[in-house]
Amino acid sequence: MKYRARICYTDSQKAQMWDRWQQGESLHQIAQLFDRRHSSVRGVLAASGGIRPPMLRRSERALSMAEREEISRGVVSGQSIRSIAAALGRAPSTVSRELRRNGESSGYRASLADQAAWDRARRPKTCKLARHRALARQVAAKLQRRWSPQQIAGWLKRTHPDDTSGQVSHETIYRTLFIQARGALKQELLAYLRRTRAMRRSRHHTQKADHHGRISDTVSIRERPATVEDRAVPGHWEGDLLFGSHNSQIATLVERQTRYVMLVKVGGKDTETVIDALIKNARRLPKELYRSLTWDRGKEMADHQRFTLATDIQVYFCDPQHPWQRGSNENTNGLLRQYFPKGMDLSPISQAKLDAVARELNGRPRKTLGYETPAERFQQTVASTG
């Protein structure tokens, strides 16, 4: 590879990097714009943990560069402080302080004074979690339980509705984690986030590849009753298989109204094995809490009619290449990757372990539930149907 001279990126180039980074482009794509390696761009973005630094803005009350140049000319021509201030429409004390900070009359230079003002404006600000150590410890404990920053922020607001010192926004938590100069949360806590990146990225929406076969006699999701679509009635579930290495998988089920999760161990992805496991799991719940199941068009559900005959539960199928029609289940599968990363062999995991993971997920507060937990909502549903 040819030698490239070291480059000092301009402010406009850095702004272009941040714009493209926030749009979701990769380091390699951004680096190609400048004919550089990705490590060159990474150095700029990683300095603030992948979070765009706020633009420095001059206060309307602060002296501008043009005003400082007028002060410099007035000093050179021998004008008094009062006459310089009158020409600028400023108080004499403003001009006096400016000169006193920057070398008095004999050594005053407009450009140096302006740069010094910007440098003073960059003084480090102490973040909220650094000021409130008890709050920081509480946030760290919840992160270690794999709560997301948004769940933590919502739970704190619900727990301390009238005490702002006991609340913190999810954005502050992210910034404190990714910008280690803040010093309030240890970098090791990044490992507990759902996406364990070293830098914060834009959120991407990924879709499954079209590898599913056709299934006969399917009932389309478009034929679901309106009460299922608007989540007005409990007992309607979404499901899918979460895959691991060595041809291993588990079945994931999410109740649409309460977001309650059930995980089912399956010994294989063939339709007989999957349907047998789903039938056994369905019999754990009363009929009122298991009315329908919406699934992707995977071959594992080819024998869906046997499932319906055995359980009296109607199965609906998403449109081809439309996994987001089971949005609650897709989201849950993303959460489960904290526990079962891609490439992990899922076959040794017992049903007891799956139940423990499901309990932990069901114990997390959810924004869509007003920061109640799925377990709380599901218990309310059980009580009302009992």
- Contact between 315 and 301 under an 8 Å Cβ cutoff? The reply is yes
Q: Which two tokens stand for residue 261?
A: 């999760």
The number of beta carbons lying within 10 Å of the beta carbon of residue 57 is: 8
| All structural domains of the chain with their residue ranges | 11-46, 65-121, 128-192, 221-385
pLDDT for 204-237, tens place per residue?
433 344 433 467 888 899 898 888 888 888 999 9
Give the pLDDT of residue 208: 42
Residues with pLDDT less than 70, the chain: 1-6, 56, 122-125, 180-183, 196-198, 201-214, 386
pLDDT digits (tens, 9 = 90+) for 281-323: 999 898 889 999 999 888 899 999 999 999 999 999 998 878 7
How far is the CA of 308 from the CAs of 226, 274, 275, 281, in angstroms?
A: 20, 13, 10, 13
What pLDDT does residue 209 have? 41
Give the pLDDT confidence score for residue 206 in this predicted structure.
38
pTM: 0.54
DSSP string, 33-72: HTT--HHHHHHHHHTTTT-PPPPP---TTSPPHHHHHHHH
* Chain centroid offset of residue 125 CA: 24
CATH code of the domain occupying 221-385: 3.30.420.10
Kindly state the tokens that stand for 334: 């993303």
Q: In angstroms, rounded to a whole number, what is the distance separating the alpha carbons of residues 255 and 204?
A: 25
Beta bridge partners of 253: 239, 262
